[in-house]
Structure 1
Amino acid sequence: MSDRPVEHYVAPVDPADAIEVDKIKLGDRRSNLWLDAWRDLRRRPLFYVAVTIVLIVSTAALFPSLFTDVDPARADLSFSNDGPIDGHPLGFTRQGYDVYARIVYGASTSLSVGLFVVLITAVIGIPMGALAAFYGGWIDSLLSRVGDIFFAIPYFLAAIVVMSVLSAHRNVFVIALAIGGFAWASLARILRAEVLQVKNLEYVMASEAVGRSKFSTLLRHVLPNSLTPVIVYLTIALGAAITAEATLSFLG
């Protein structure tokens, strides 16, 4: 028997093929994660209750005429403070407005304000928190101090002041800007804390080691893996914004 070592031939692997395989595996993993989440939600009765409520409110906001044919702007003092009657299930206000009709038609305004507030909060808060945490140094100090200034101002009190100044230009966007323009600091703090943890993980350092720029690493790897608390916060902020809008409306 010969003592000559056996030579093994390994076929070269095309890097493009390896990347495609990684993409397929990653895609399967992502799809499995979404599928697992959907399976878990389907087992929860409260999920169906929540979806039903959201669909009803959204439909009422988009198509209020499907829920009532009463004009919400029509007032009849002869029905002042009357209770529920046929066609008016919630009765009337002191001025004679139909309560149910005003609730249905008001859903559109409330939902619009809530969505705009969430959008404004995200547009300002996400870049502020992400840039401050990822770059650090003087950028972190500057953006954090700006956030502290807005965080120290009660956003509801600031919204009242803004609405008083812009009383001649009141609309959905102005109301949303008055609320969201001072409510983003909390989101920036939450995202900053999350990015500080994620940016020290191995895959982030590996991305920088292969020559990817810091900003590209932030967008492709750090930010997508830091959005979980952001999504949770924004869902809560939607309800808080609608409550704030209703309070501002009550205060006039």
Structure 2
Amino acid sequence: MSDLHPPASTPAPSASAASPDPVDRSAEHGQLRMVATRFLRHRMAMASLTVLVLTVLFAFLGPLLWPWDHTVHREILPNQPPSWAHPFGTTNAGHDVLGQLMRGTQQTLKVALTVSVLATAFGALWGAVAGYYRGWIDAVMMRIVDVLMVVPLLVAVAAISGNVRGGTTWWAVALIIALFSWTTIARVVRGVVLSLREQEFVEAARAAGASDARIVLHHLLPNAAGPTIVAATLLIATSILLEASMSFLGFGIQAPDISLGLMIDNARTAAFTRPWLFYPPGLFIVMICLTINFIGDGLRDALDPRQTITRR
């Protein structure tokens, strides 16, 4: 006579196992942690980010702590070399050069970041639409890009800035530069989208009934983030140099305001006689451009899904 055993009961699936949401969220968090880890291990990018943060604090918080601003003060003796009271000396009109450097860095950063945001947003959308639809839409949109790219950027920006009322304010200068700076990003994003539109995830999105706008905004543009970020960081550096060139030629930010390019223009005859007027703004321009480029390099490596080796 065999022993009778009751049938083993099958355990009911838990709520967490039945719902895929926690798994999806954990996968997203894991991807974000991987991106953050890759970026944090990029030593040049982290060092550059530290320098950039210190530069931003210098530009935006420094004027709140330093007693002298960028304007003329009767209490300041003109043409003074660097001292404890004025670490970067004074100008022949009675400006504190350190106060000018803070204000000039602030205005230059505002122009560059505004240009980068506006030009990247418009250029990425333009390139993604052209690459996704192809055909005559792509041909027309890219011919517009070709025409704008043929126009000399500095000449076009200077001409418009010189004929637009209020063109000497930082906001107007940023808008004018952005108007001609989005074409490179549009070409970069179009090239990436032309290859991405043939991938299986785009076909799956179409089969699921996703609209063209959703495919472009939620599938193509996020997957083109790496090249877009690199192009955007290069655009920041280009905008800084372009704004400096405009101010140097008299078409950018003008007195009584100040920018790094205008500081170089005002001190162009004092490069050897009073170097404390000429070299600090130039060194700040070079430093900001280098740090932004290294940060973009680190973000590209961190966001690239094909990147398997973390740069140290």
TM-score interval for Structure 1 and Structure 2 normalised by the shorter chain: 0.7 to 0.9
Aligned residue number for residue 98 of structure 1: 96
Q: Deviations over 1:69-110 (max 9, x none)?
A: 113211569844432122211112343322111011222211
**Distance across 2 between alignment mates of 1:38 and 1:216:** 27
**Distance across 2 between alignment mates of 1:41 and 1:138:** 40
Does 1 or 2 have the higher relative contact order (CA < 8 Å, sep 6+)? 2
Q: 1:203 to 1:40 in 2, by over 3 A?
A: closer
1:86 pairs with 2:84: yes
Tell me the CA shift for residue 63 of structure 1.
Answer: 2.0
Contact 1:60 1:105 in 2 (8 A): no
Match of 1:192 among 186, 190, 195: 190
Aligned residue number for residue 246 of structure 1: 244
Tell me the CA shift for residue 28 of structure 1.
Answer: 2.3
Tell me the CA shift for residue 214 of structure 1.
Answer: 2.3
**Distance across 2 between alignment mates of 1:143 and 1:104:** 41
Matches within 5 A, 1:22-37: 23-37=21-35
Percent identical among aligned pairs is 28
**Distance across 2 between alignment mates of 1:168 and 1:208:** 47
Give the superposed CA RMSD: 2.4
Q: Deviations over 1:182-238 (max 9, x none)?
A: 011100000000000111001111111232222222222122111211111111211
Aligned residue number for residue 147 of structure 1: 145
Q: Which amino acid aligns with 2:200?
A: E
Matches within 5 A, 1:161-240: 161-166=159-164, 168-240=166-238
Q: Which runs of 5+ in 2 are unaligned?
A: 1-16, 251-312
Q: Which runs of 5+ in 1 are unaligned?
A: 1-16
TM (norm. structure 2) is 0.69
Q: 1:187 to 1:47 in 2, by over 3 A?
A: closer
Q: 1:246 to 1:212 in 2, by over 3 A?
A: same
User: What stretches of structure 1 move > 6 A for 4+ residues in a row?
Assistant: none
Contact 2:72 2:93 in 1 (8 A): no
Q: Which amino acid aligns with 2:210?
A: R
The SS at the match of 1:83 is coil
Q: Which has the higher mean CA deviation after the structures are superposed, 67-76 or 225-234?
A: 67-76
Tell me the CA shift for residue 26 of structure 1.
Answer: 3.5
Aligned residue number for residue 117 of structure 2: 119
TM (norm. structure 1) is 0.84
